[in-house]
């Protein structure tokens, strides 16, 4: 395996519970894993590239701000899920 998300899921499955739950929680774990990769990570990386990864002369402050704002919105989704419970699963 070469893709980090696939490696993480593979290791969790090998380890078993609680890293890899069964039943409906297995589906929820997969849902939140994919959500993080497709929704939160792109915004986080937009912010990171334009804040500290790229050399200073290649950074775009507007892109950094847009990434931070998008990430804040994505994290509100998680906060909403955690409003009435201590864990996502």
pLDDT over 90 (residue 89)? no
Q: Show Cβ contacts of residue 75 under 8 Å, excluding neighbours closer than 6 positions.
A: 40
- 37 near 17, Cβ under 8 Å? no
Q: What is the mean pLDDT of the chain?
A: 95
pLDDT at position 18 is 87
Average pLDDT over residues 49-59: 98
Residue 26 CB-half CA count within 13 A: 10
- The 10s digit of each residue's pLDDT in 12-29 is 999 998 889 999 999 999
């Amino acid at each position: 395996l070469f893709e980090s998300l696939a490696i993480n899921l593979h290791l969790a499955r090998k380890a078993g519970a609680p890293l890899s739950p069964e039943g409906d929680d297995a589906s929820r774990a997969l849902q939140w894993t994919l959500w993080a990769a497709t929704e939160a990570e792109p915004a986080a990386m937009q912010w990171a590239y334009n804040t500290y990864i790229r050399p200073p002369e290649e950074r775009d402050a507007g892109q950094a701000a847009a990434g931070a704002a998008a990430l804040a919105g994505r994290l509100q989704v998680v906060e909403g899920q955690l409003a009435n419970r201590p864990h996502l699963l």
